[in-house]
Structure 1
Amino acid sequence: MLALAQEVLSTPRNPRQEVQALQDTIYVVGGKWRLPIINSLCNGNKRFRDIERSIPGITTRMLSRELKEMEANQLIKRTVTPDTPVLVEYTPTDYCHSFGSIILEMIRWGKAHSEHLKKAAD
């Protein structure tokens, strides 16, 4: 852990730069829906309705807005195939996949946190 901290953090420390990096990350992947959308895409859902069905509680409007933002941030690629009917697919970019280990670590932490709370309640 110390080695990772030394690799990531500035020497000497630059708190302003570190806070800006955290804010940039939260801006790109923050909010209630972006990580579940990334997770859905990485689990093989490519079509709008499949993504929507895989995320309980998300509205059509919200999914549409989030997908547009994610495309603008180069996390996903939108491909339109002009068949009849028109086929629209969303796929995670390599840039999005670079975030994969962080998402897995967040899932791991979330599971451990849940267990921690259960033990504290006993």
Structure 2
Amino acid sequence: MRTIRRHGGLLLTRSIPLESETAFFILVSVCDVIFTAFLLAGGTAFEANPIANWFIEGWGLNGMVGFKFGMIAFICLVVQMIAAARLHVARRILNFATYITGAVVLYSGVLLLIA
């Protein structure tokens, strides 16, 4: 635990479990949101996820962005809850989610290059 002195008072802070893994998952997920938005705006692709597509049909691109960021937050929250009891299990789940999302980002990147 590190202590930070601010405005004459003490503010105690500490790192969250799997902080760097969580940050990397968020980075990869934000890339997914950005690439998906570019592909949808260009009209050259469609959303394959039926749930995300439902949000797009109902609320447009803003709905898709809200859905994806909601899923990112949900996954991070669940992983942090699991990490409190079983850190190694949480790490595996988060790494798996990052790999899957990373594969989607790579595929989207290829689609953007050939579009």
State the TM bucket, normalised to the shorter chain.
under 0.3
TM-score by length of 1: 0.27
* TM-score w.r.t. length of structure 2: 0.28
**Higher relative contact order structure (alpha carbons within 8 Å, sequence separation ≥ 6):** 2
